[in-house]
A and B are shown apart, each in its own frame.
Chain A
Amino acid sequence: MAANYWASTQRLHWQFSRTELQDILQHLENEDPALTQQYPLLDRRLLSIFYNQQLVKLAKRMSIRQQALGTAQVYIRRFYTKVDVRNTNPYLILTTALYLACKMEESPQHIRVVVEHARSLWPDFIPSDVSRLGECEFYLISEMNSQLIIHHPYRTLQELQGRLDLVQDDVLVAWSIINDHYLTDLPLLFAPHVIAIAAIFLAMTLKQSSGGQQAAVNAAAYLTDSRQAIREGSSTVASNDNVPEKRIGSFVKWLAEGEVDLQAVADSMQEIISLYDVWDRYGEKTCKDQISHVVKARGLDK
């Protein structure tokens, strides 16, 4: 339940395997093949970056806290497992998601204020009538089955900070990696504590080596093998060349001895690393044009 991730609706209803998620998204596209064909869209990951950038613009204007922003991002991601983007006005969806997230994170914003800010950013896409946002809120809540409480990795990060004596630098980098993970499907794939651990591990490995990403990739691979190695009592683990720093070795040892799903941690690391690759290909204009085209052509902004 609320504090217990294991009994939460997040784990029970909103956590999927990669295959399940793939099927769900495929199913959405198959619902209306003509529509899908008429409006081909870019890689979902690129669109995610676009939505996120828009959302961050809005959140900054309103000085929204990161946790509410994260909640809104998860809402958007959940919603788009139920509804095809081509049937929505993403600008209204993300404004509504943020409005609802602020209420759920106990820092409510007045509906008029939210609409005003959103209109100043996207005058062509946000109706001035606040009831449209109110209506969209019903849509969002209904598609999410009123399951609105979100467990975030930040809490685990804070808890582990003390337990693992993390240095401030690692915590800051891990924090921003967690911010980034909302741009991927990770919130729908893994438990928040898995994400947090992946973020910490990435933060440590990205920093300690000039090799940067390559080091992280190695670290992820290394992690996958390490539990096996530790179980077998191998002493080679700590002296692995890919991960020279002792500190990391002891972190991995701590991990391997626990019950954390290391494969999931490694997967999460890979996903984040590939996000940074995708990001290099990102261009705001292409995404914006595509979205505008669908919304305008289908009259979804009305």
Chain B
Amino acid sequence: MPSMVYKNKVRVRDKYRIVGFISSGTYGRVYKAVGWNGQTGDFAIKKFKPDKEGEVIQYTGISQSACREMALCSELSHPNVINLVEIILEDKCIFMVFEYAEHDLLQIIQHHTQPARHPIPASAIKSMLFQLLNGLLYLHRNWVLHRDLKPANIMVTSKGEVRIGDLGLARLFYKPLHSLFSGDKVVVTIWYRAPELLLGSKHYTPAVDLWAVGCIFAELLSLRPIFKGEEAKMDSKKTVPFQRNQVQKIVEVLGMPTKEKWPGLVHQPEFAQLQTVPYPRRDSGSAGPLGLDTWYWNTLRSANYQEGQPSGSPGQQGLDLLTSLLDYDPTKRMTAEEALHHPYFTANGEKVSANCFEGMTTQYPHRRVSQEDNDIRTASLPGTKKNGLPDDTLIGRPTKRLKE
């Protein structure tokens, strides 16, 4: 038979030596690799899980999310977006080779909770946030919604450069042929999910990513997820449940959204459900919603963020920015571009450092790489692994978002 049989020209093992296993998820597994045979440097290789029929791996068609990630990563090029080196299709598997990033925001946050909680310096947070927004602005200008921003997906190199990673849920939003909702019913890991998504909005916008940025900002300050709800699971009929607990967590801090502040509220599909969310009322003995201001100043106080302290302080400007990012109304929520021009970043004419570790003495531990499972070919598939922890289960994080 002539060449209608697919043969890859480049082989993973000819260019990369796998040194260990980093993490696994619904998509497959990520390995750390070093280049050889002329390829130099460290790499993260994302191997997409092939479908299996019995014990034999078959070509079953590439998942849409893998297609999107391959296509988008091939187009994207920005200092704050993870850099794709190449894609190798081999042995019925997809291998996406990325530059290696030593850290991620989740790992950094966790480092600051141990052994005792100690704050991430305000200047570092400012740089992380600025770089994150810069990458996000690039994505949005190119009509790409990320749709899964969370600390574990924000990579940081050893030089302190922030790289937005995991575009597995990202997609173009320029005049979609169908409403965005019809493709993926549930997007964004629950703690970072914007209110309009929680209320069932079908035509959502880049604003969903900005809500997630707000949540990440808050988490960098307090070292805990700000809205740590419990995810209601999909029932057997695969209807999308109303995430009452998650909404409640948001309401406890921000108060109930009102149609005065968010005129579109009443048109949200789950508006009726919202009325059933237990509301912390002042008059019924509870203290009422905390209010973002109170949350913020409490957080700053307990973390000992103060002007004059070594950690510095994000100050009033930080609160202003956070408030604008966590605006209930997606049409009023600050855009990435507006956020980058916010006084939080621009006041005093200082330039935000492109190295978020600048001036820091903290040494973050290297990414945990398991040595036992480093055969990229024969390694067991996710779910049957013997070693290494999936990134999301480290501290009881909610399971990865449901897809398609």
A111-B60, A134-B60, A302-B1 as given contacts; A100 in contact with B67, CB under 8 Å:
yes
Tell me the bound Cα distance from A274 to B305 in angstroms.
72
Distance between A212 CB and nearest chain B CB, rounded to angstroms: 33
Contacts A1-B75, A87-B4: A105 and B177 contacting too (C-beta < 8 A)?
yes
Whether A135 and B64, one on each chain, are in contact in the complex, defined by CB atoms closer than 8 angstroms, is: no
Residue of A nearest to B88 (CB): A142
- Give chain A nearest CB distance to B261 CB in angstroms: 31
Question: Which of the residues A106, A135, A146 comes within 8 Å of B6, measured between beta carbons?
Answer: A135
Question: Which chain B residues lie closer than 8 Å to A130 at the CB level?
Answer: 59-61
B72 at the binding interface (Cβ < 8 Å): yes
Q: Whose C-beta in chain A lies nearest to the C-beta of B140?
A: A3
Minimum distance in angstroms from A105 CB to a CB of chain B? 6
Neighbouring A residues of B92 by C-beta, 8 Å: 134, 138
Contact, CB under 8 Å: A141 / B144: no
Interface residues of B in 242-275 (CB under 8 A from A): none
One of A4-12, A166-174, A249-257, A284-292 contacting the partner: A4-12
Which chain A residue shows the least CB distance to B76?
A1
Q: Which residues of A contact B68 (CB under 8 A)?
A: 104
Closest to B96 in A: A146
Q: Does A17 contact B (CB under 8 A)?
A: no
CA distance A280 to B393 in the complex (A): 65
Question: Is the CB–CB distance between B8 and A134 below 8 Å?
Answer: no
Residues of B295-349 contacting chain A, CB below 8 A: none
Query: Which residues of chain A are near B178, meaning CB under 8 Å?
Result: 106-107
Mark interface residues in B57-73 (1 if CB within 8 Å of A CB, else 0). 01111101001101110
A108, B138: Cα distance in complex, Å:
27
Q: Which of B4, B60, B87, B144 contacts A146 (CB 8 A)?
A: B87
Cβ–Cβ < 8 Å partners of B285 in chain A = none
Report which of A68, A99, A148 forms a contact with B74, defined as CB distance below 8 A.
A148
In the complex the two chains form, what is the Cα distance from A2 to B138 in whole Å?
Answer: 10
Partner of A149, one of B75, B89, B141: B75
Question: How far is A130 from B138 in the complex, measured between Cα atoms in Å?
Answer: 38
A147 to chain B: closest residue by CB: B74
Contacts of B4 in A (CB 8 A): 87-89, 92, 136, 139, 300
| Cβ-closest chain A residue relative to B69 | A146
Interface string of B1-38 (1 = CB under 8 A from A): 11111101100000000000000000000000000000
CB distance B70 to A108 under 8 Å? no
Interface residue stretch chosen among B108-116, B151-159, B168-176, B376-384: B168-176
A60 contacts B by Cβ under 8 Å:
no
Q: Assess the B89–A141 pair: CB atoms within 8 A.
A: yes
Question: Does A128 sit within 8 A of B, measured CB to CB?
Answer: no
Q: Is A138 in contact with B59, judged by CB distance below 8 angstroms?
A: yes
| Residue from B1, B58, B89, B142 in contact with A3 in the complex, judged by beta carbons closer than 8 Å | B142
**In the bound complex, do residue B2 and residue A131 qualify as a contact, i.e. CB atoms below 8 Å apart?**
no
Distance, CA A219 to CA B175, complexed state (A): 33
Q: Given A107-B177, A107-B178, A108-B64, verify A2-B172 contact (CB < 8 Å).
A: yes
Q: Are B61 and A1 in contact (CB under 8 A)?
A: no
A134 surroundings in chain B (CB, below 8 A)? 58-62, 92
Task: Enumerate chain B residues within 8 angstroms of A211, measured Cβ to Cβ.
Answer: none
Give bound CA distance, A106 to B67, whole Å.
10
In contact, B74 and A9 (Cβ under 8 angstroms): yes
CB-defined contacts of B75 to chain A, threshold 8 Å: 1-2, 8-9, 147, 149
A113, chain B: closest CB distance, angstroms: 11
Find the B residue at minimum CB distance from A100.
Answer: B67
Residues A80-106 near B (CB distance < 8 A): 83, 87-89, 92, 99-100, 103-106
Q: Which residue in chain B gives the minimum CB-CB distance to A67?
A: B177
Q: A160 to nearest B CB, angstroms?
A: 15
| B3, B8, B67: the one within 8 Å of A103 (CB) | B67
| In the complex, B183 has a CB within 8 A of chain A | yes
- Which B residues are in CB contact (< 8 Å) with A107? 177-178
Q: Name the interface residues of A127-165: CB closer than 8 Å to any CB of B.
A: 130-139, 141-142, 145-149, 155
* In the complex with contacts A1-B75, A88-B4, A149-B72, A135-B142 CB distance below 8 A: no
- The answer, yes or no, to whether A18 is at the interface (CB within 8 Å) is no
A221 vs B1: C-alpha distance when bound (angstroms): 50
The answer to whether B143 and A137 touch across the interface, beta carbons within 8 angstroms, is no
Interface positions, chain A 271-302, Cβ under 8 Å from B, are 298-300, 302
B399 at the interface (CB under 8 A from A): no
Within the complex, which residue of A87, A132, A142 is in contact with B2, where a contact is CB–CB below 8 Å? Answer: A87
Cβ-based interface call for B77 (8 A) = yes
> A138 and B89 in contact (CB under 8 A), knowing A1-B77, A300-B2, A300-B4?
yes
Interface status of A57 (Cβ within 8 A of chain B): no
A108–B77 Cα gap in the complex (Å)? 27
Minimum CB–CB distance from A269 to chain B (whole Å) comes to 27
Closest 9 pairs between A and B when the two form their complex, measured CB to CB: A134-B59, A111-B61, A148-B71, A3-B143, A131-B59, A1-B142, A2-B142, A139-B6, A146-B87
| Extra pairs beyond A100-B67, A106-B177, A137-B59 (20, CB < 8 Å) | A1-B142, A2-B76, A4-B141, A9-B75, A68-B177, A83-B3, A87-B3, A89-B4, A104-B68, A104-B71, A106-B171, A106-B172, A107-B178, A111-B60, A130-B61, A134-B58, A137-B62, A141-B62, A142-B9, A300-B2
A sample of 27 inter-chain contacts (CB < 8 A) reads: A1-B77, A2-B75, A3-B172, A3-B174, A65-B177, A68-B177, A87-B4, A88-B3, A106-B171, A106-B176, A106-B178, A106-B183, A107-B178, A130-B61, A134-B58, A135-B5, A137-B59, A138-B6, A142-B8, A145-B74, A145-B87, A147-B75, A149-B71, A149-B74, A149-B172, A155-B174, A299-B2
